């Protein structure tokens, strides 16, 4: 983090501080069903408030496409934010720019917290319009980005605003950057990675980057079927992108040159249909029937994966190994997740995981709190693993 200003370098007392967070939370009716993103904003908000700043929150919510939509008003998130900030003075402004925003800010006392309305109600946000960014900048004396999950977007409240005001990384963003940098750019070795999911096509850049940086790579889920097919194995009617067989072979060649070992399953849990509650059939990977689908890695494969991971110092995980949403095809993911959690605790392994399906899978396994770091950043996490420069992060550089 040496190229970024952190809150350790910031005297916030008496200043109007614009804080970009991610309050794009799931809702059912008027109830926030998962407050994880709200909770993760609290350390930065509380620190700035305690320092005597006027804390002014910027966030997006949904995809309103530049127009006001009542069901995407951040006023709906306000009760959850107030509950999380019990004891703090938290208010709401029905606009994020202009007279309404300015009036609400002028009425604040030091230490107060103000939530501004959804920045995506203005087309200038997603267009990264400098005029919209300048309107936001008029409201503050400094800018803090604490939304790593939005930092892969070159939007006005993420990038342009950072160039108009003295800018700092918030505590959550700092933690995310330090965790990911430590896991991928300057890791303790050996480094093992687990990449799962349905399609190779969605993770080509990720695979091409990881095989150059990790010591071994476990490929699972539907992606593994494409690699198995590329190796000449019969995969029955399993989900696969057979047209990417040559691409899979190229990735394996890059891995070979980079001295990265790719691990695929040697046995499989199969069924003729993807239906919950079936009695699983376990079979060797070279014996898949024509009318069957590979739906999970088998126990022999899972044990082999775990044995390799036990020797690691750093583990990176993105994507489940099988059709984990449909039991009993979740067993490999659950078993391996529990093992990684145990290694993290007992062997001082650094374990970093992220992505929507990954968070869901590790939560399903009951170990989401036992990894060294679990990112909820989704697309930003994936782009970081792909080796891309994130606009919101680059905007904070000296």
356 as an active site residue: the answer is yes
User: Is the Cβ–Cβ distance between 172 and 146 less than 8 Å?
Assistant: yes
Distance (Å, whole) CA 312 – CA 194: 12
Cα-to-chain-centroid distance, residue 51: 29
Question: At residue 154, what are phi and psi to the nearest 5 degrees?
Answer: -85, 70
| 142-145/90-93 β-pairing | unpaired
Distance (Å, whole) CA 244 – CA 207: 13
Of 47, 199, 250, 313, the active-site residue reads 199
Of 182, 236, 379, 387, the active-site residue reads 379
User: Is the Cβ–Cβ distance between 190 and 216 less than 8 Å?
Assistant: yes
DSSP 278: P
Of 52, 62, 182, 356, the active-site residue reads 356
199 as an active site residue: the answer is yes
User: Is the Cβ–Cβ distance between 239 and 222 less than 8 Å?
Assistant: yes
Counts for the chain of helices (H) and strands (E), in that order: 14, 17
User: Is the Cβ–Cβ distance between 194 and 316 less than 8 Å?
Assistant: yes
Beta bridge partners of 191: 314
Of 37, 54, 76, 213, the active-site residue reads 37
Question: At residue 236, what are phi and psi to the nearest 5 degrees?
Answer: 60, -135
Distance (Å, whole) CA 255 – CA 253: 5
What lies within 8 Å, CB to CB, of 14 at 6+ separation is 52, 53, 110
Catalytic (active-site) positions: 37, 199, 356, 379
């Amino acid at each position: 983090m040496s190229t970024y200003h952190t809150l350790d370098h910031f005297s916030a007392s008496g200043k109007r501080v614009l804080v970009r967070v991610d309050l794009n939370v799931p809702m059912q009716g008027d109830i926030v069903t998962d407050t994880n993103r709200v909770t993760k904003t609290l350390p930065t908000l509380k620190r700035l408030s305690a320092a005597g700043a006027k804390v002014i929150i910027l966030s997006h919510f949904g995809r309103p496409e530049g127009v006001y939509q009542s069901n995407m008003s951040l006023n709906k998130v306000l009760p959850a934010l107030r509950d999380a900030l019990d004891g703090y003075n938290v208010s709401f402004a029905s606009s994020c720019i202009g007279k309404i925003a300015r009036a609400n800010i002028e009425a604040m006392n030091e230490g107060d917290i103000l939530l501004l309305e959804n920045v995506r109600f203005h087309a200038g946000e997603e267009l990264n319009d400098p005029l919209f960014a300048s309107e936001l900048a008029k409201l503050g004396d400094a800018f803090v980005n604490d939304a790593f999950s939005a930092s892969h977007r070159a939007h006005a409240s993420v990038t342009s605003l950072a160039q108009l005001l003295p800018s700092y990384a918030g505590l959550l963003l700092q933690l995310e950057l330090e965790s990911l940098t430590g896991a991928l750019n300057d890791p303790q070795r050996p480094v093992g990675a687990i990449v799962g999911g349905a399609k190779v096509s969605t993770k080509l850049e990720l695979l091409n980057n990881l095989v150059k940086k990790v010591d071994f790579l476990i490929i699972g889920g539907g992606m593994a079927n494409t690699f198995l097919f590329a190796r000449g194995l019969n995969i029955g009617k399993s989900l696969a992108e057979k047209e990417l067989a040559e691409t899979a072979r190229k990735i394996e060649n890059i891995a070979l040159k980079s001295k990265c070992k790719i691990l695929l399953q040697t046995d499989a849990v199969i069924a003729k249909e993807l239906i919950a509650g079936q009695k699983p059939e376990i079979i060797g990977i070279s014996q898949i029937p024509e009318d069957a689908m590979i739906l999970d890695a088998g126990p022999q494969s899972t044990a082999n994966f775990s044995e390799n991971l036990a020797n690691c110092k750093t583990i990176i995980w993105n994507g489940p190994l099988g059709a984990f949403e449909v039991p009993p095809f979740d067993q490999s993911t659950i078993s391996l997740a529990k093992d990684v959690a145990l290694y993290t605790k007992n062997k001082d392994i650094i374990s970093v995981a992220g992505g929507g399906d990954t968070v869901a899978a590790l939560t399903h396994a009951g170990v989401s709190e036992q990894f060294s770091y679990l990112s909820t950043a989704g697309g930003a996490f994936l782009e970081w693993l792909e080796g891309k420069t994130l606009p919101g992060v680059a905007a904070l550089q000296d």
